[in-house]
């Protein structure tokens, strides 16, 4: 047991895979890859840098002397300079060309973009995994009628599968936004202290073409084909805001699902997975609390609020650069990724094991369906010679009395019996019950599920069929 604070996002919720991406080791190794890319590009464009110097840099790219770097940072109060000196101690021949012409944001900002990009790739995989699981669920229950709700009041019937397509559709919208963001990610490149590339222009004796080529070469060596066309010292913090807005959108979708499931579990219609030895309450041993769905809700709320951080940061940057973004970015961006990673891990787990109780669902339908079926009963009675206006008034009176019996006396809904006993309707109890078949009230729900899965979801899953995601919840 540790005696210092540790973020629960690390100890309880997020995957090791995501934590590794946002680890210091990933950051500082990427810094060294960027310094190597800079040296290689500068050499290729004619600067006096040797192959031996570059090979020396490559030799130590993953062997970081952290003790030296930490000591240097205490001395310099500057993390980038500390790591330049630490790298230089390992590479004495290359010491003089490390970070040549660059500013701190060359390694800091380009690394931040690369790390966010890698994090989004993990999020995307898990997003697709949830869509796949929910699609199986939607197809399995596409024909099972269930009460629809508006204002959390019983409304026209839907099906269990149709409701699941609403959850999926939100995630599909998130995936579309994800692919847009991924397709538009670009590096800062090598822009210099205020974005004018003046230091690089000096290095290349005023040759603007070489400076432009340097920008593109570095990006290519790091696996990117685009850089920001213009910048201050930093890439625009609008990128951070765009990315966290995407993560917030995913959190919103998961939040809606988790709230729906919490309500369904309260009604005992659908439950999240509950393991053999799981304890629902320390006091009430009988309880099966929707703790996983509640955790999604809890983490999603954090992400939605956290997305305000880069929005405020982007809007308050001064001219070409201010440093009030740095401490905030170090916290708000990694934690948003870790939290969404955790949310999707739980979402995958739940969607892979939801339990449906058709008998409870049917019971709830039959408690409410008599009210919803009155129009159909009315039409059937009119066909048999009844007066529509008279019958409408009789149904209104019977409905009010039946509702009163349910609400005030706790009795079952006896509206059908009341109508059957009323000679004005000329219908017996069996004839009325034949009108009450739930499948007569679900409209196109089953067809809508099939069409949505076939036309919208299957092309996505087919395009991403190689994605394989396995998650294991820590708690």
What residues act catalytically? Answer: 151, 281
Tokens of 269: 């219609």
Give the pairing of strands 355-356 and 270-271.
Answer: antiparallel
Answer whether 240's CB lies under 8 Å from 333's CB: yes
Distance of CA 189 to the CA centre of its chain: 28
Tokens of 101: 């012409």
Q: How far apart are CA 433 and CA 415, in angstroms?
A: 11
Helices (H), 352-470: 358-372, 374-383, 388-409, 415-420, 429-435, 445-452, 458-463
Helix axes 238-266, 308-315, angle to 10 degrees: 160
Distance of alpha carbon 243 from alpha carbon 223, whole angstroms: 20
**Cα separation, 120 vs 337, whole angstroms:** 8
Alpha carbons 89 and 91: distance in angstroms, whole number: 6
Handedness of CA 168, 169, 170, 173 (dihedral sign): positive
Q: How many residues are recorded in the chain?
A: 475
Q: Using an 8 Å Cβ cutoff, are 37 and 101 in contact?
A: no
Contact assessment for residue 218 and residue 190, using Cβ atoms and an 8 Å cutoff: yes
Q: Which residues pair with 227 in a beta bridge?
A: 187
* Alpha-carbon gap, residue 156 to 276, rounded angstroms: 36
């Amino acid at each position: 047991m540790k005696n210092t604070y540790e973020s629960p996002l690390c100890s309880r919720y997020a995957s090791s895979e995501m934590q590794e991406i946002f680890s210091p080791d990933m950051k500082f190794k990427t810094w060294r890859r960027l310094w190597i890319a800079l040296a290689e590009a500068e050499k290729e464009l004619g600067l006096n840098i040797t192959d031996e110097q570059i090979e020396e840099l490559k030799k130590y790219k993953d062997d970081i002397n952290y003790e030296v770097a930490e000591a240097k940072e205490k001395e310099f109060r500057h993390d980038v300079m500390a790591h330049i000196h630490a790298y230089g101690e390992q590479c004495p021949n290359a010491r003089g060309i490390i970070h040549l012409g660059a500013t701190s944001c060359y390694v800091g900002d380009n690394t931040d973009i690369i790390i966010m990009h890698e994090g989004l790739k993990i999020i995307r995989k898990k997003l697709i995994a949830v869509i796949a699981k929910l699609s199986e669920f939607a197809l399995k229950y596409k024909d099972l009628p269930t009460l629809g709700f508006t204002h959390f009041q019983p409304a026209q019937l839907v099906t269990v599968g149709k409701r699941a397509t609403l959850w999926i559709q939100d995630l599909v919208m998130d995936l579309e936004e994800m692919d847009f963001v991924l397709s538009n990610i670009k590096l800062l490149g090598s822009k210099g202290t205020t974005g004018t590339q003046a230091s690089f222009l000096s290095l290349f004796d005023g040759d603007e073409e070489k400076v432009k080529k340097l920008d593109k070469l570095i990006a290519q060596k790091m696996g990117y084909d685009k850089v920001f066309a213009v910048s201050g010292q930093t890439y625009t913090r609008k990128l951070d805001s765009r990315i966290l807005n995407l993560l917030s959108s995913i959190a919103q979708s998961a939040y809606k699902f988790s709230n729906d499931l919490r309500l369904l579990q309260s009604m005992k219609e659908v439950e999240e997975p509950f393991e053999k030895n799981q304890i629902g309450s320390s006091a009430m041993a009988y309880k099966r609390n929707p703790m996983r769905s509640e955790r999604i809700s809890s983490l999603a709320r954090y992400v939605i609020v956290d997305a305000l951080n880069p929005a405020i940061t982007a809007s308050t940057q001064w001219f070409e650069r201010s440093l009030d973004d740095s401490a905030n970015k170090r916290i708000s961006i990694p934690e948003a990724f870790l939290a969404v990673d955790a949310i999707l891990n739980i979402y995958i787990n739940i969607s892979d094991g939801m339990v449906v109780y058709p008998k409870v669902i049917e019971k709830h339908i039959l408690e409410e369906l008599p009210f919803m079926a009155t129009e159909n009963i009315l039409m059937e009675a009119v066909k048999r010679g009844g007066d529509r206006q008279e019958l409408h008034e009789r149904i209104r009176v019977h409905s009010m009395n039946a509702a009163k019996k349910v609400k005030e006396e706790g009795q079952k809904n006896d509206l059908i019996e009341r109508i059957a006993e009323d000679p004005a309707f000329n219908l017996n109890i069996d004839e009325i019950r034949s009108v009450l078949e739930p499948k007569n009230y679900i409209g196109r729900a089953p067809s809508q599920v099939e069409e949505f899965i076939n036309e919208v979801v299957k092309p996505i899953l087919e395009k991403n069929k190689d994605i394989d995601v396995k998650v294991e919840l820590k708690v």
